[in-house]
């Protein structure tokens, strides 16, 4: 569940007429902070970003799924499910599944959220 402050900043962005990706950026930032603080890890910078975008969609940010060919079909389907979930954001997440995912992520690395790793990722994305 995203922090109250993150939800408030995303709502503020929406009120100001900012794009869905800007609103979702608040959730990505929160996820990066979680990894840096050691709350959990990730296998790659992409995974940290994906988790943040998923949280944003589930919180009600109208962020469309990635276009065909950009990601796997499974990822697109998950994004669609997250969007559907975002239409009813008050529903509590499955506690058992959430706990299992957190336990799995705890064992992953934390360097993927360093400023150097994020910079590398940004440069590689721009080059692509």
The two tokens of residue 55 are: 């949280």
* Tens-digit pLDDT profile for residues 34-87: 999 999 999 999 999 999 999 999 999 999 999 999 889 999 999 999 999 998
Per-residue model confidence as pLDDT tens digits over 10-31:
999 999 999 999 999 999 999 9
Of the candidates 12, 66, 64, 54, the one whose C-alpha atom is nearest the C-alpha of residue 30 is 54
Kindly state the tokens that stand for 126. Answer: 């721009």
Q: Name the pTM for this structure.
A: 0.89
The two tokens of residue 85 are 């979930």
């Amino acid at each position: 569940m995203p922090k109250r402050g993150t939800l408030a900043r995303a709502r503020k962005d929406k009120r100001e007429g900012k794009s869905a990706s800007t609103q979702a950026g608040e959730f990505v930032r929160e996820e990066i902070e979680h990894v840096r603080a050691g709350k959990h890890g990730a296998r790659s910078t992409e995974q940290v970003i994906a988790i943040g975008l998923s949280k944003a969609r589930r919180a009600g940010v109208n962020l469309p799924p990635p276009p065909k060919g950009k990601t796997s079909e499974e990822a697109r389907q998950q994004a669609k499910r997250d969007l559907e979930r975002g239409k009813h954001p008050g529903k509590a997440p499955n506690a058992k599944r959430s706990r299992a995912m957190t336990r799995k992520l705890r064992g992953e690395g934390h360097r993927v959220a360093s400023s150097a790793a994020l910079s590398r990722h940004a440069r590689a994305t721009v080059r692509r």
